[in-house]
Every structure is written in C-alpha cells, then in structure tokens.
Structure 1
Amino acid sequence: MVAPPLDARRAREQRLRAALPSTIEFLQRRRADLIDPGVIDDFVAIHWMEWHGGTLRLTVTGRNICAQIGLRPAR
C-alpha cells in the first residue's frame, strides 16, 4: 500500500484538529450519534481515539493533541 502524499496527510490532520473540539463536546454530552462516522473512523485510524467497551474515548495521543490546541477534555 502506498502512503498518501504528505500534503494530503497534513490537510487531513488539520481537518481533524478542527473537528476535535465539537467531537469532544458531543462525547461529553454522550451524543456520539451526532459525530460523522467517517470522522470517528479517521480519529481511530490515526490513534487519537479508541473504542473501549462500546464507548469512544481519547487515547494518550488524542489527549496530547487536545493539550496542543488548548482543549481540556473531561476524563
């Protein structure tokens, strides 16, 4: 499998960074049904989120990204 070009990966990461605040808000309100399934798949694929017992949660990497952009998600 060939990796996508660097520009495409950067654009994807920027898009996901922009989607992270609203995604976390939906998770905190227990409304994961409002998150686009494709966005969830992308977060899981880049290891920012994981499924744990049927619940979507941030990984250590996801929490670090939140810290980088100034978000403080509830644990």
Structure 2
Amino acid sequence: MASSDYDPAEIKKRSVVIAGHRTSISLENVFWDSLRSIANEREISVNQMVTEIDKQRTGNLSSAIRTYVLQSLMTQ
C-alpha cells in the first residue's frame, strides 16, 4: 500500500495469541502501529504485550489496548 493510501483511523482486525489462545482484535492503524512500537521498545512481542494488557483489564480488550497505548505515550 502506498503511504498516501495509509489511513491512521482505518480499523484493522488482526489475530493475536493471548495465553495460548488465538483471538481477533479490531483497532485503528495508529494504535496497531503504536502497540508494535511500544512492544519493540520493551523488546517483547505484540502477543506478549497484549497478554499483559489482557491480564490487567476490567472491560473490553480493544479499549484496554487503546488506553494502554495512550497512557504509554503520555508518560514518554
């Protein structure tokens, strides 16, 4: 995809593995990009990061990921 076609608000559904179980998560491109970047900085996989977020969440997983990304970026 050409960079001019990139839409940060476009929602993409991707599969992740949480504690050995495959599930699909829908997030905007900008959150997937940020999640990958944070995982790379921490030297862990996206699956490991999502597993950590999943263990701490009380509500919807997609919302918990968005909140985690936002809080991580606010503390940088």
TM-score relative to the length of structure 1: 0.27
Q: Which one has a larger percent strand, Structure 1 or Structure 2? A: 2
